[in-house]
Amino acid sequence: ATGRGERMEIGTYIEKSLESELSGNVIDVCPVGALTSRPFRFKARAWELQQHAAVAPHDSIGSNVYVHTRRGRVMRVVPREFEEVNEVWLSDRDRFSYEGLYSEDRVTAPMVKINGEWQTVDWETALEATVNGMRSLIHQHGADQVGVLVSPTATLEEMSLLQAVARGIGVKNIDHRLRQADFTDQAEAPLCPSLGVSLEALERVDAALVIGGNPRKDQPIAGHRLRKAAIAGAKVMFVNPVDFEVLFDVHASSIVPPSRMAEALAGIAAALTTAAPADAIKHVIAAASPDENQRVIAAALKKAENAVLLLGNIAVMHPQYSLIRALADVIADATGATLGMLPEAANTVGGWLAGVLPHRGPAGAALSSAGMNAREMLEQPREGYLLFGADPAHDCSNPAQAGKAVADAEFVVSIAAFASEALRNSADILLPIGPFTETSGTFVNAEGRWQSFAGVASPVGESRPGWKVLRVLGNQFGLDGFEQTGSEQVRDALRATLGEMAFDNHQAAGPVASVTPGSGLERVGDVAIHAIDPLVRRAGALQRTPDAEVAGKVRMNAAQAETSGVSGAAQVKVS
């Protein structure tokens, strides 16, 4: 018995777990402890460990975990029971990513590049160099020549202070939506993206349509909830550019090239006689010819009493995201379904609330003028960049373009726990901060739940909590409002500004991306689950799994590879 009202033979459970992104949970269900974690094996004895409550830092679920430390060093991570969020389960990514905490390219001391050579300096010298460099850059080129790129895994407190620093020195170009490619309708966007329902409610729906997403891998706990719904009889359906493997019966799916995803959604909308699209997308729906699969999807959503539409990572990264979102909104309205989002990262939602956006301040406050979004900052390279937890060559929608833009910049400051070789070549100053285990902070998950945690591990070298570095940086710039003595003060101030939040993904009609027909081969721009952030990219156990698709690896349908004449090739050139 699993304790969830289900029964399963243990052999079947192990087999199904090993097929899923929850395979590490087999360790937890072993009644005698014979199944152990290979990365942890022989590293420490249980009685040597201290247990600390924490929150997983990778996807937008916010799974509750226990971090086990020995003498201040993280030794393993295990699930912490929380029925409303992750029950008793944990994704492999959340369980094993701790291996990356102590990687060789961890930044352990402040560093300044002098005459092309890195020199280790004290914090006072590094912060002074940062302030002087930024002031000089702004004096010479103007504040609009500075871009601030923020990782969506940063804490709410770090994000709140960073946007205050940026705006305090006149910089408007700030964004955490690093992998988003289409910002056409950002002015009409709601306060923040959200799931629209509770995580628990996902397993009680009787129909679900996932648009541009693979929850089984991208948000495994949400995928687990949807699988439970499907087993209970729900009709789970997909509109995707890839026919991803799922561990349940799919009611219907529309698998199309990326350029035809909007067309597929238009077909579903056209099959709904009650659809009432805005003027901007009327012609798209009018031109659609629904196929049988799209009619089946439309009928299932219309018939359902409790349906949900979920926009996933691929949808948000799509160059026609605004059009896809608008079509999803029409379908939701016509069927009475809830429109939900499956945000990519641990604090994607928090970034919106904290105002790490070029067009809105904290709590969605209107700004007198907007800055550049993440894509614009890199398509139109700035003279300087402030990077917080982000590695542009890996974390942006166009990594090659982003890496070049930063490499060509006159002045680059990186505030992060890690620095890849490319980042070290591009940056002028490295300020080391602690990852989630070495700082206090808050993540806001997909359902809008605020979850705070404390630092549980000893800092590595001269690393400092990111919020403290930003608070001191604000003081160094001579800005007001940087007197906090604890991260809780930053969190509470933002919560007071927000007041009672109403999460609703519907938005006013606005401009949308144009329909761009594709021809020939098309790139499917998803991101491997073990490459989504700096920590998982450095976790050895995760990088040895089949899900660790490394940069430079091409995946292609076997029949297409044969047609293209590359089925037997070890290397191919893609342009």
435-449: string of b/e by CB count within 10 Å (b at 16+)?
bbbbbbbbbbbbbbb
Determine the Cα–Cα distance for residues 63 and 97; give it in Å rounded to an integer. Answer: 13
Q: Could you give the percent of the chain with pLDDT greater than 70?
A: 94
From residue 184, alpha-carbon distances to 170, 308, 339, 373 in Å are: 24, 24, 19, 11
Determine the Cα–Cα distance for residues 343 and 534; give it in Å rounded to an integer. Answer: 18
For the chain, the 3-state helix, strand and coil shares in percent, each to the nearest 5, are: 40, 15, 45
Determine the Cα–Cα distance for residues 454 and 488; give it in Å rounded to an integer. Answer: 10
Mean pLDDT of 430-445: 97
**Amino acid 114: pLDDT:** 94
Q: Is 453 helix (H, G, I), strand (E, B) or coil?
A: strand
Give the distance, in angstroms, between the CA of residue 418 and the centroid of all CA atoms in the same chain: 18
Determine the Cα–Cα distance for residues 469 and 165; give it in Å rounded to an integer. Answer: 11
Mean pLDDT of 351-369: 96
- Quickly state the pLDDT bin for 526 (edges 50, 70, 90): confident
**Amino acid 37: pLDDT:** 75
Q: Is 54 helix (H, G, I), strand (E, B) or coil?
A: strand
- Quickly state the pLDDT bin for 14 (edges 50, 70, 90): low
Specify the higher pLDDT residue, 149 or 548: 149
349-366: string of b/e by CB count within 10 Å (b at 16+)?
bbbbbbbbbbbbbbbbee
* Residue 198 pLDDT greater than 80, yes or no: yes
**Amino acid 280: pLDDT:** 85
* Mean pLDDT for the chain overall: 92
Nearest alpha-carbon partner for 277 in 328, 211, 224: 328
Is the pTM of the predicted complex or chain greater than 0.85?
A: yes
CB-CB contact of 403 with 393 (8 Å): yes
